[in-house]
Amino acid sequence: MSVTGAAAFRAGVAQLQAAGIADPARDVRLLLAHAMGISADKVMLALHDPLPDAVAAALEACLSARANRQPVSQITGQRQFWGRDFIVTPDVLDPRPETETLIAAALDQPFTRLLDLGTGSGAILLTLLAERPAATGLGADLSPDALVVAAANAEALGLAHRAQVIQSDWWAAITGRFDLIVSNPPYIALDEMAGLAPDVRDHEPHMALTDGADGLSAYRAIAAGALAHLAPGGRLMVEIGPIQGAAVASFFVAAGFCDVVVLPDFDGRDRVVSARAPV
Ligand SMILES: C[S@@+](CC[C@H](N)C(=O)[O-])C[C@H]1O[C@@H](n2cnc3c(N)ncnc32)[C@H](O)[C@@H]1O
Taking the C-alpha atoms of 87, 130, 225 and 254 in order, what is their torsion angle to the nearest 10 degrees? -110
pLDDT at 17: 97
pLDDT at 2: 76
Residue type, 263: L
pLDDT at 1: 57
CB 99 less than 6 A from any atom of ligand 1: yes
CB 185 less than 6 A from any atom of ligand 1: yes
pLDDT in tens, 207-245: 999 999 999 999 999 999 999 999 999 999 999 999 999
pLDDT in tens, 120-134: 999 999 999 999 999
pLDDT at 191: 97
Whole-prediction pTM:
0.96
- Of all atoms in ligand 1, which is nearest to the CA of residue 143? 25
* Residue 228: partners with Cβ closer than 8 Å, 6 or more residues away: 171
First to last CA, the chain: 72
CB 126 less than 6 A from any atom of ligand 1: no
pLDDT at 46: 87
Rounded to whole angstroms, the Cα distance separating 10 from 56 reads: 13
| pLDDT greater than 90 at residue 29 | yes
CA of 219 to the centre of ligand 1 (A): 12
CA of 140 to the centre of ligand 1 (A): 8
pLDDT in tens, 160-209: 999 999 999 999 999 999 999 999 999 999 999 999 999 999 999 999 99
Rounded to whole angstroms, the Cα distance separating 211 from 189 reads: 7
pLDDT in tens, 238-279: 999 999 999 999 999 999 999 999 999 989 999 999 999 999
* Average pLDDT along the chain: 97
- Of all atoms in ligand 1, which is nearest to the CA of residue 120? 27
pLDDT in tens, 86-138: 999 999 999 999 999 999 999 999 999 999 999 999 999 999 999 999 999 99
CB 261 less than 6 A from any atom of ligand 1: no
